[in-house]
């Protein structure tokens, strides 16, 4: 069955437009509460965790979800602003049946969304999402007053998560002597990430740590690293670390202010693990992963598998292969032997361990992987698009692929979180890649938007 509301990463959209409205969130809380209570088997009152990022609309949706859940007879624990991976962690450690994150990740403040975690701290299986959608078709009812759920605010959630992050590095590991700039995107890591790195001994300079409900991801964070790059150069620090709005993605900049993307970070972690003797046979990337990552890993005897874009597909491929490392060029990196989902702070610590172990600078370490020129252009569309309905688009892709031959590749895919088609071209020659990508994006826009 196809899903009406759930996409590849929960439910997301513009605040005030269906389904990102208070009435829908009330119904969603109720519907999910009924499903979670049923799956719990009626063994006592079950609990659902709710966390959020720093968007102003989070207050509204937190209250609506809370009301729906307690009406379904489910207890609720509120974490307040917390990174998405922290909600996954707290769901597991608080013996909750599920976790809910109110966030639109790297999107602007006027978007918002809902992500769910299972009791194990992983994304919900398709059958649970379908069951929730089935409940959404029913009228809301309220359990008897004696059965209404209760709500508790967890006041020490931030401290618990900080300690967890520090526990993911070996005993005795420290960052003394390192000067680090940290950009929290005015998002959910603003009160977490600086403390983690400073408590491990680093000299930390922070930006993007003054959320006001409206400035999340605005000119800061992993989606816009210009401010962080300038800060790194001006203050002469060793490196910069940038998180997205909900803290499940991370990118670095080196001492010269040059961006280091997720593919390069995955390469560094893999090399560290390989050299330490506890690496796997391979790494999972996505269809968007740079070909240079695949070539660099294979040169070291590691396998490389590509999954569909989306952390849930990366995680599924990791489990199928029996590997513990995977991720996306966007900086969504999963170390499943450490935690259950993509975690920006945990991934950053893995990179910092690799740097300390190698004794190299960030620029020196990244030089072991040679990225192929890759260009991506986002084509904005009116809504969901099935590219299979546009044979002329397939023909245009075929022409570009024929021109590249075996020297590159082309990828078109609709975004799972935004009304956009991602057009990507990769090859050996940067000028050719730029020209072909621009040409193909213009053709896609003409064919799709003018149909």
DSSP-derived pairing of the beta strands 374-380 and 420-426: antiparallel
Residue corresponding to tokens 């064919």: 447
User: What's the full length of the chain, in residues?
Assistant: 451
Q: Are 181 and 207 within 8 A, CB to CB? A: yes
Q: Active site includes 105?
A: yes
Q: Are 83 and 246 in contact (CB under 8 A)?
A: yes
* Other C-beta atoms lying within 10 Å of the C-beta of residue 277: 6
Q: Helix (H, G, I), strand (E, B), or coil: what is residue 125?
A: coil
What φ, ψ does residue 305 adopt, rounded to 5°? Answer: -120, 140
Single out the catalytic residue among 103, 105, 195, 289. 105
Helix pair 84-93, 157-167: axis angle to 10 deg? 90
Diameter of the chain measured on Cα atoms: 70
Residue 200, CA atoms < 13 Å, CB-side half-sphere? 30
Q: Tell me the CA distances in angstroms from 90 to 35, 49, 316, one per residue in order.
A: 20, 7, 22
| Residue reference for tokens 């396998």 | 303
Contact 180, 203 (CB under 8 A): yes
Report how far apart the first and last C-alpha atoms of the chain are (Å, whole number): 28
Taking the CA atoms of 290, 295, 298 and 299 in sequence, report the sign of the dihedral they define: negative
- Residue numbers annotated as active site: 105
């Amino acid at each position: 069955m196809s899903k009406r509301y759930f996409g590849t990463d929960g439910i997301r959209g513009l605040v005030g437009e269906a389904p990102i409205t208070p009435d829908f969130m009330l119904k969603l809380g109720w519907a999910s509460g009924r499903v979670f209570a049923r799956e719990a088997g009626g063994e006592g009152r079950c609990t659902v965790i709710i966390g959020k990022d720093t968007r102003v609309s989070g207050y509204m949706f937190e209250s609506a979800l809370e009301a729906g859940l307690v009406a379904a007879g489910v207890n609720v624990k509120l974490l307040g602003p917390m990174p998405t991976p922290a909600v996954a962690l707290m769901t597991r450690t608080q013996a909750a049946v599920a976790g809910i994150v109110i966030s639109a990740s790297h999107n602007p403040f006027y978007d918002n969304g809902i992500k769910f975690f299972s009791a194990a701290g992983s994304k919900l299986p398709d059958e649970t999402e379908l069951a929730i959608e089935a409940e959404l078709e029913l009228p809301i009812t309220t359990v008897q007053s004696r059965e209404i759920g209760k709500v508790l605010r967890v006041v020490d959630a931030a401290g618990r998560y900080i300690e967890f992050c520090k526990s993911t590095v070996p005993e005795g590991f420290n960052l003394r002597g390192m000067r680090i700039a940290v950009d929290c995107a005015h998002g959910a890591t603003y009160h977490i990430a600086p403390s983690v790195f400073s408590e491990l001994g680093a000299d930390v300079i922070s930006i993007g740590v003054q959320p006001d409900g409206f400035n999340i991801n605005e000119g800061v964070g992993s989606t816009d690293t210009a401010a962080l790059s300038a800060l790194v150069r001006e203050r002469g620090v060793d490196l910069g670390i940038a998180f997205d709005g909900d803290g499940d993605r991370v990118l670095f900049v080196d001492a010269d202010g040059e961006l280091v993307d997720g593919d390069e970070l995955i390469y560094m972690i893999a090399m560290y693990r390989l050299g330490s003797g506890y690496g796997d046979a391979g790494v999972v990337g996505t269809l968007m992963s740079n070909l240079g990552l695949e070539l660099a890993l294979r040169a070291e005897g590691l396998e490389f598998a590509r999954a569909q874009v989306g952390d849930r597909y990366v995680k599924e491929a990791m489990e199928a292969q029996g590997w513990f490392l995977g991720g996306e060029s966007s900086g969504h990196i999963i170390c499943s032997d450490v935690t259950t989902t993509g975690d920006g702070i945990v991934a950053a610590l893995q990179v910092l361990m690799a740097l300390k172990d190698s004794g190299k600078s960030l620029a020196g370490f990244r030089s072991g992987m040679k990225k192929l020129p890759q260009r991506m252009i986002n084509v904005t569309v009116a809504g969901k698009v099935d590219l299979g309905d546009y044979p002329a688009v397939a023909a245009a892709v075929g022409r570009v692929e024929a021109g590249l031959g075996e020297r590159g590749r082309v990828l078109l895919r609709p975004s799972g979180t935004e009304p956009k088609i991602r057009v990507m071209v990769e090859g050996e020659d940067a000028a050719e890649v730029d020209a072909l990508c621009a040409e193909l994006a213009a053709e896609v826009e003409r064919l799709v938007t003018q149909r």
